[in-house]
Structure 1
């Protein structure tokens, strides 16, 4: 580049943009849209500092990928300039397909489409715009490149994505217990037989990484208040979609109106190119514009939930390690209907239930340790503590959320 571009990141300090193409991608409207999508959805209802965005995370992941590739080169792994740039692009764009509030609305505005599928569509569109310069990055992203360790760095149980978001989310929420030693983990990484491995002396850093991830899920990502706020938002959008599909006039921005008229499916994106353009105009601000408008709606559900979100009058959450019986759920439903004075057809918007689950380590997607003798073994086998084996157990909690009071 004619002049080196530097960004001051609150987590890592000054980070550099390594090439002209990467700078062009960062400057593109598709990527700049990530400034308007919060990394942790509505988690700031619990942790007020959690206002960082997908833009922050993508730049941080870009930086960590560069540090990792430099380290692997220093250890003797051959990485060409083309592979170097492609790997950085793959991690930079890995989350470009996220919609408003990240995961919160992933399956309500859309129908059966993951953000990874949308990221791929957007990367392919950018590849067309840049005359095929993203082809290698796309192969790494989709795990179709022959050197598979590049995909592991982008998406695995010990990938650059997780190394950044755990540090960043810990920093912005103030949950210091989630701190991980990312620098040491990266320094302990090596490539053996086209696989990412961690040297044995880094095993305690891996244990800490897995423990921190498990803690962050229960304390931050699956915090019961966050669950409550997200369920309220999902129910609000579901009601707006229901009214929109019935032909009612639901005030919304142009981009949001497209998805209220009909939740989009993967085949819809493939058959209608304009749909991706509408999605790429959609961000958190469209949803908040709707919430602020709908608080004056004649529809009691739109009006009620919008007002509750704006005033942080959230659903009360009951958590249990055992599933609720049909009788218990019906009793809570009836109580919600009576307390809030709801019509029967509106009750399910103000009462919701389900399950949340978490496991820190998936044994079939292994983290590999290279012993001092050169053997490659699973981290659960290498650890001298039983906690990693315990982390592979799925822990499930059941929740019931209900409105506490309502002025309709």
Structure 2
């Protein structure tokens, strides 16, 4: 008898959905793969835990949750006589499981600093292709659906649309872990109301209020959580500390860091030179590497690097002002002048400490509408089908401008 035989149909206990089943041995083997296990060491929400201490959940949690919701969606659609073959169902599970596998440490921070030549979506595809080779082509259909190249449009919409499985999990999950109850959508109800008409993913009319709540919840979660002003400062500081490290590394300054992080600091990373070898190194880079390096950089002789590192480690962040109109050049120049005089920061280094930018969010995009399937058999955009006037308002992008600069105690 082979003592090495593993039970591959395991059950995972999730705090939100309860027991999640792994549907087959291929999915089990993908989850067990080191590339996927790395997601246990990448937080879902970057540095949001500096604002919401409970927000320490990982991309691993989210990916498993998405797979669970996708199983529900397939079950519901099949019950409504939507033909989904076992091969297509499995491809959906694989595609949603791996949709975020290319995210770097702290989710978006690396993309804006040291791995800025390649997007996380492109890296996800690279991972999928390498895994496809390892699993003898069993991921081919999943990749086709993920890229939107499969002939059945609704399968792609389940992976990526305004009401996709990804959003149904992260809103509910992030709401749970932050404690921000406004984001708590009814993903079960939304999935139960799904249907397919003319190869399009639609929501039946009786699900209209759940969709309204989903769009409003998304808006509240963005402004209250994802774009929270303290979270923005923390994220920008993290990006800047990595940018400064990259700048110093380019000049040949020695920086303490793990080997994977060092590779990305000391080598220019572009789409053309991001080989499978680079991917392997990327797969060894996670939040732990970045945070342990930043802890070391607190003691570095470079004033900018050590100051930014201290801000993160001691959570002594920059001050932030936010408003609906752009800040005037006059006001920004006054801030620049005050900071350089009081803090003695060199002119060329000021941009690391005084940040001015804008954030934009659109809760609902009418260009890619969520379609409501009426009882009379018609398809209507939710913005037109809803009697909620505010849904039309939510389809307008909201822009806010912010300015960050050191408080009196920010630079230790």
TM-score, normalization by structure 1: 0.97
CA distance in 1, matches of 2:359, 2:224: 13
Q: Which residue of 1 aligns with 2:367?
A: 364
Work out whether residues 9 and 28 of structure 2, in 8 Å CA contact, stay in contact via their aligned partners in 1.
no
CA distance in 2, matches of 1:26, 1:55: 9
Q: Which residue of 1 aligns with 2:65?
A: 60
Q: Which residue of 2 aligns with 1:126?
A: 131
Q: Which residue of 2 aligns with 1:249?
A: 254
Q: Does 1:210 align with 2:210?
A: no
Work out whether residues 355 and 405 of structure 2, in 8 Å CA contact, stay in contact via their aligned partners in 1.
yes
Tell me which of 57, 78, 81 is aligned to 1:76: 81
| 1:112 Cα deviation from its structure 2 partner | 3.9
Q: 1:3 to 1:103 in 2, by over 3 A?
A: closer
Q: Does 1:146 align with 2:151?
A: yes
Per the alignment, in what secondary structure is the counterpart of residue 226 of structure 1? helix
| 1:340 Cα deviation from its structure 2 partner | 2.2
Q: Does 1:177 align with 2:182?
A: yes
CA distance in 2, matches of 1:340, 1:100: 31
CA distance in 2, matches of 1:42, 1:203: 34
Tell me which of 31, 51, 58 is aligned to 2:56: 51
Deviations 1:306-364 (A, max 9, x none): 11211110010000100011111111112222232212222211111100011111111
Q: Which residue of 2 aligns with 1:291?
A: 294
Where does structure 1 differ by over 4 angstroms across 4 or more consecutive aligned residues? none
CA distance in 1, matches of 2:268, 2:294: 18
Q: Which residue of 2 aligns with 1:15?
A: 20
| 1:251 Cα deviation from its structure 2 partner | 1.3
Name which of structure 1's ranges 259-268 and 206-215 shifts more when overlaid on structure 2: 259-268
Deviations 1:178-232 (A, max 9, x none): 1111111101000111110000111110000000000000000000000000111
Q: Does 1:344 align with 2:347?
A: yes
Per the alignment, in what secondary structure is the counterpart of residue 289 of structure 2? helix
Unaligned runs of 5+ in 2: 1-5
Q: Which residue of 1 aligns with 2:283?
A: 280
Work out whether residues 111 and 263 of structure 1, in 8 Å CA contact, stay in contact via their aligned partners in 2.
no
| 1:407 Cα deviation from its structure 2 partner | 4.6
| 1:27 Cα deviation from its structure 2 partner | 0.3
CA distance in 1, matches of 2:56, 2:244: 27
| 1:162 Cα deviation from its structure 2 partner | 0.0
CA distance in 2, matches of 1:167, 1:2: 30
1:381-396 alignment runs, 5 A limit: 381-396=384-399
Per the alignment, in what secondary structure is the counterpart of residue 266 of structure 1? coil
CA distance in 1, matches of 2:153, 2:411: 56
Work out whether residues 340 and 406 of structure 1, in 8 Å CA contact, stay in contact via their aligned partners in 2.
no
Work out whether residues 240 and 302 of structure 1, in 8 Å CA contact, stay in contact via their aligned partners in 2.
yes
Q: Does 1:4 align with 2:17?
A: no
| 1:177 Cα deviation from its structure 2 partner | 1.1
Q: Which residue of 2 aligns with 1:375?
A: 378
TM-score, normalization by structure 2: 0.97
Work out whether residues 316 and 410 of structure 2, in 8 Å CA contact, stay in contact via their aligned partners in 1.
no
Unaligned runs of 5+ in 1: none
Work out whether residues 323 and 398 of structure 1, in 8 Å CA contact, stay in contact via their aligned partners in 2.
yes
How many residue pairs match? The answer is 406
Work out whether residues 55 and 174 of structure 2, in 8 Å CA contact, stay in contact via their aligned partners in 1.
yes
